[in-house]
Copies of this chain bind each other. A is one copy, B any other.
Amino acid sequence: MKPVKVAICGLGTVGGGVFNVLFRNASEISRRAGRPIVIEQVATRTPNPDCETSSVYMSQDVFDVIENPEIDIVVELIGGYDIAYDLVMKAIEAGKHVVTANKALIAVHGNEIFQAAREAGVVVAFEAAVAGGIPIIKSIREGLTANKIQWVAGIINGTGNYILTSMQEEGKTFEEALAEAQELGYAEADPTFDVEGIDAAHKLTILSAIAFGVPLSFENVYTEGISRITIDDIQQADSLGYVIKHLGITRRTEEGLELRVHPTLIPKERLLANVNGVKNAVMVSGDAVGPTLYYGAGAGAEPTASSVIADLVDVARAMGVDQASRVPYLAFADQSYDLPVLPMEEIETAYYLRLLAVDRPGVLARVATILSEQGISIEAIVQRDSIEGELVPIILLTHVTKEAAMNEVIRQIESLADIAGGVMRIRVESLNDQ
């Protein structure tokens, strides 16, 4: 069959990986795709020293590829919203298929992009936007089509997981672990997107849409980062049998959809609790299949390239196919709005609370009474031996309750005269994988 001709826009880490893997594994890829996938053009302002581009048509302006009639598929690897958005929309308008690794773009502008793509009859593929090299979009969108998905929970930000692992295993503080991640190139100079959960929220938005058939709604994700987690929390969790992971969680309940990113205590024996360093893993539970888990590299040049190229092969196959026989962009033929996203106050989960109390008789009783008045059962209380004159840390594990009730509990505890400072609250999920 005729070769498929692609343009790579952006030759940074991921672009370079796609370029190199497409060359290195050309024969393997061609045997799988049934036709060669050739790089017809590369558009970048910054050459990549890892790529031997002398035999390829290079241009500086990414919008050149739109004008190139030879190009079948535009591979958007620029990142960000501005140029990337324009490029993708213009490519669609020009009747070209698009492959992108841009989670922010899909999470924020995806509904509009897929609408335009549907009208233009082109494919927009985005496997690399979530969990790097793990074929999680394909697994949910095509592998679990029989299921009513119940929940999805994942470690979907490698930087955050690297930091938490480093705190857990080496006793580093958050700041030390972050600095180390930056030195190793795992974290950006401005780490906000990673450590404050925005990157994970982008990815969770996409996972939720394809799991439940709802539109992308990034604006509704509750997002909490890991910068407030202390070594003390990690050690307390450890002694209670838990590990702290930064998770994206989306769940379908009768009331609506949960959509939340936050640090989470999970039992040590879970597979997810043993996913360390920059690795990602996503659990998906369906009513027929039960819990499943997908693990691998969540970032990096070649793992991400693996997903981009898998998309290229899929698009190569879908090119000659009418729209009705293609896999829907977001897994469902229609994205239905019938399930509201629940406000965080409506979520039900268990909690870990850490408070600092003045060491006076009756503090524990007052805290326990506040919980009891809100109808919340306590699973464990740990009060450290007190040192005279010092504040005593108290750790509480509760049973499942509504976030609104917990907010009220925390408000009341913080107003107690015997309590110093704020209450540290971390949610606890069982995430059964058996």
Contacts and interface: CB of A to CB of B under 8 A. Distances in A.
Interface stretch (A60-68, A104-112, A305-313): A305-313
B1 A324 contact: yes
Contacts of A318: 325
Contacts of A80: none
Given A293-B295, A305-B288, A325-B321, A144 B135 contact: yes
13 contacts: A29-B146, A135-B139, A138-B142, A144-B310, A146-B307, A146-B313, A276-B434, A290-B296, A290-B297, A295-B433, A317-B325, A317-B327, A320-B321
Contacts of A1: 324
Contacts of A290: 133, 296-297, 302-303
Nearest 9 A/B pairs, CB to CB: A135-B143, A146-B309, A292-B296, A133-B289, A289-B306, A293-B295, A288-B302, A288-B306, A145-B313
A384 to B, nearest CB: 30
A292 B291 contact: no
Contacts of A145: 29, 32-33, 309-310, 313
Given A324-B1, A325-B317, A296 B306 contact: no
Given A293-B294, A434-B279, A286 B306 contact: yes
Contacts of A138: 135, 138-139, 142-143
A176 to B, nearest CB: 22
Nearest to A302: B288
Given A302-B288, A306-B146, A31 B321 contact: no
A314 to B, nearest CB: 7
A277 interface: yes
A32 B332 contact: yes
State the majority secondary structure of interface residues on A: mixed
B34 A333 contact: yes
A326 interface: yes
A288 B328 contact: no
A190 to B, nearest CB: 27
A228 to B, nearest CB: 28
Nearest to A28: B148
Given A138-B138, A143-B307, A321-B325, 15 more contacts: A17-B288, A28-B213, A32-B145, A134-B292, A138-B142, A138-B143, A146-B305, A146-B307, A146-B309, A269-B274, A274-B274, A281-B293, A289-B302, A291-B296, A317-B325
Interface in A144-186: 144-148
Interface in A19-35: 21-22, 24-25, 28-29, 31-35
A331 interface: yes
Contacts of A320: 321-322, 324-325
A143 B32 contact: no
A255 interface: no
A345 interface: no
Contacts of A143: 127, 135, 138-139, 307, 310
